[in-house]
């Protein structure tokens, strides 16, 4: 190794799901929402001339719209470039005690990457054999707690009382609840934000609002938490939110009817697909998300993954201990899921 290389920060990066460059595939691998943004977003004509200016560094229009939507004041809202950006900033801002932070061993695989990047010690707390978190495991001295609810890739949601118990028992540290999938059936922790100043709830426009391509995420928490987060953001990049994201994000928030109808279509298709694949020897935990975590009683997941890919259907396979016989299947349109089901029927 050359001298300069010895001082390079070396990380093993997060590997996102494939974004294939080929047409005519059924893409069920990255938990996107197949319905696309609200027509209100599509109808907006942006004044391109405005792009000569820097965007509002505070993204106030979007912050205010999100605050309004959730019935909180704007000083409780922080926005970022997808919830990945919000989470990365939160790790940098809140997890500095030098003590181990805690998250489940089976969870969003970006958490350990951020911890490594920022040199934050961590402990991956084992979930039980049904992939459930055990709340008592989090009642120990730690440097912070983070978990998704519903969890990914398991799709399992824990009730609000469960989340509250974890927050209540960790009031000396910041607890982050990653609610990327909550709109598909989870119970939000937002009502607890006023009660616990150490709670940060993180959300995204990528899933239930079908706007993954725009990269909008946000956090809601006590104004003190938001101020600390903003200070770090302004020390990193003033203009995280670009102008189109601010404009289109505001418009999406205004269309509650479209939001609700597309979310319920996803939920309906999820439940129908689950009951159909169970007839073929598949099983999966109850899902509160826009995906199912499936395993088959005889065909190995790795083989299923490869065969589906050959047939032009892409799902997610994690070659990791405990979950290497599972596939994470995003819920697409009814038509896409019917095609996937036909493929599974011929295979089984």
What residue ranges bind ligand PMP (CB under 6 A)?
A: 82-84, 108, 148, 152, 178, 180, 204, 206, 212, 217
Quick one: CA dihedral 204, 206, 210, 212, positive or negative?
positive
Q: Considering the complex, what minimum distance in angstroms separates the CB of residue 81 from ligand PMP? A: 8
Give the dihedral of Cα atoms 237, 203, 220, 14; nearest 10 deg: -50
Question: What is the rounded CA–CA span in Å between residue 162 and residue 113?
Answer: 26
Q: Considering the complex, what minimum distance in angstroms separates the CB of residue 210 from ligand PMP? A: 11
Q: Considering the complex, what minimum distance in angstroms separates the CB of residue 20 from ligand PMP? A: 17
Question: What is the rounded CA–CA span in Å between residue 213 and residue 252?
Answer: 13
Give the C-alpha distances (Å, rounded to integers) separating 208 from 161, 182, 260, 308.
Answer: 24, 9, 9, 26
Q: Which is nearer to ligand PMP, 144 or 217 (CB)?
A: 217
Q: Which is nearer to ligand PMP, 138 or 184 (CB)?
A: 184
Q: Which is nearer to ligand PMP, 37 or 82 (CB)?
A: 82
Q: Which is nearer to ligand PMP, 178 or 344 (CB)?
A: 178
Within the chain, residue ranges assigned H as helices are 3-6, 39-43, 60-70, 82-94, 111-117, 160-168, 223-234, 243-254, 256-278, 301-310, 334-347
* Count of beta carbons in the 10 Å neighbourhood of residue 56: 14
Backbone dihedral region of 110: left (phi > 0), alpha (psi from -120 to 50 degrees) or beta? alpha
Give the C-alpha distances (Å, rounded to integers) separating 282 from 253, 304, 341, 343.
Answer: 37, 12, 11, 14
Q: Considering the complex, what minimum distance in angstroms separates the CB of residue 313 from ligand PMP? A: 20
Q: Considering the complex, what minimum distance in angstroms separates the CB of residue 222 from ligand PMP? A: 21
**Dihedral pair phi/psi, residue 200, rounded to 5°:** -120, 125
Q: Which is nearer to ligand PMP, 206 or 344 (CB)?
A: 206
Q: Considering the complex, what minimum distance in angstroms separates the CB of residue 289 from ligand PMP? A: 9
Q: Which is nearer to ligand PMP, 29 or 296 (CB)?
A: 29
Q: Considering the complex, what minimum distance in angstroms separates the CB of residue 191 from ligand PMP? A: 21
Q: Considering the complex, what minimum distance in angstroms separates the CB of residue 86 from ligand PMP? A: 8
Q: Tokens in use for 230?
A: 């903003």
Q: Which is nearer to ligand PMP, 29 or 269 (CB)?
A: 29
Question: What is the rounded CA–CA span in Å between residue 297 and residue 280?
Answer: 9
Q: Which is nearer to ligand PMP, 212 or 311 (CB)?
A: 212
Question: What residue has token string 């200070």?
Answer: 231
Q: Which is nearer to ligand PMP, 90 or 206 (CB)?
A: 206
**Dihedral pair phi/psi, residue 317, rounded to 5°:** -120, 130
Burial class of 208 by CB neighbour count within 10 A (0 to 12, 13 to 18, 19+): buried
* Closest residue to ligand PMP in the complex (CB): 82
Q: Nearest CA to 177 among 267, 207, 164?
A: 164
**Dihedral pair phi/psi, residue 309, rounded to 5°:** -60, -45
Q: Considering the complex, what minimum distance in angstroms separates the CB of residue 176 from ligand PMP? A: 10
């Amino acid at each position: 190794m050359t001298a300069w290389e010895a001082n390079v920060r070396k990380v093993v990066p997060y590997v996102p799901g494939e974004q294939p460059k080929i047409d005519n595939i059924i893409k069920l691998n990255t938990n996107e929402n197949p319905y696309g943004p609200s027509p209100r977003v599509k109808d907006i004509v942006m004044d391109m001339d405005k792009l000569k200016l820097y965007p509002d560094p505070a993204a106030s229009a979007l912050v205010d719209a999100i605050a309004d939507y959730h019935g909180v004041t704007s000083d409780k809202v922080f926005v970022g470039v997808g919830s990945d950006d919000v989470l990365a900033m939160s790790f940098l801002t809140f997890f500095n005690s030098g003590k181990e932070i805690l998250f489940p061993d089976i969870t969003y695989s970006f958490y350990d990457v951020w911890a490594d990047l920022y040199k934050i010690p961590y402990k991956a707390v084992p979930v039980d054999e049904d992939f459930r978190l055990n709340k008592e495991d989090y009642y120990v001295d730690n440097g912070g707690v983070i978990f998704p609810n519903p969890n990914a890739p398991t799709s399992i949601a824990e009730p609000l009382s469960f989340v509250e118990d974890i927050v209540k028992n960790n009031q000396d540290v910041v607890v982050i609840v990653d609610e990327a999938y909550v709109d598909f059936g989870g119970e939000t922790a937002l009502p607890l934000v006023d009660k616990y100043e150490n709670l940060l709830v993180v959300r995204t426009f990528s899933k239930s609002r079908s706007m993954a391509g725009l990269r909008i995420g946000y956090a809601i928490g006590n104004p003190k938490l938001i101020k600390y987060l903003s200070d770090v953001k302004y020390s990193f990049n003033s203009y995280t939110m670009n102008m189109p994201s601010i404009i289109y994000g505001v418009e999406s928030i205004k269309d509650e009817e479209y939001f609700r109808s597309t979310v319920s279509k996803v939920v309906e298709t999820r439940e129908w697909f689950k009951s159909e694949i169970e007839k073929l020897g598949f099983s999966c935990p109850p899902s509160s998300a826009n995906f199912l975590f499936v395993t088959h009683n005889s065909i190995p997941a790795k083989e299923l993954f490869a065969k589906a890919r050959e047939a032009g259907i892409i799902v997610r396979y994690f070659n990791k201990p405990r979950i290497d016989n599972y596939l994470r299947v995003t819920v697409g349109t009814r038509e896409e899921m019917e095609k996937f089901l036909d493929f599974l029927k011929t295979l089984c």
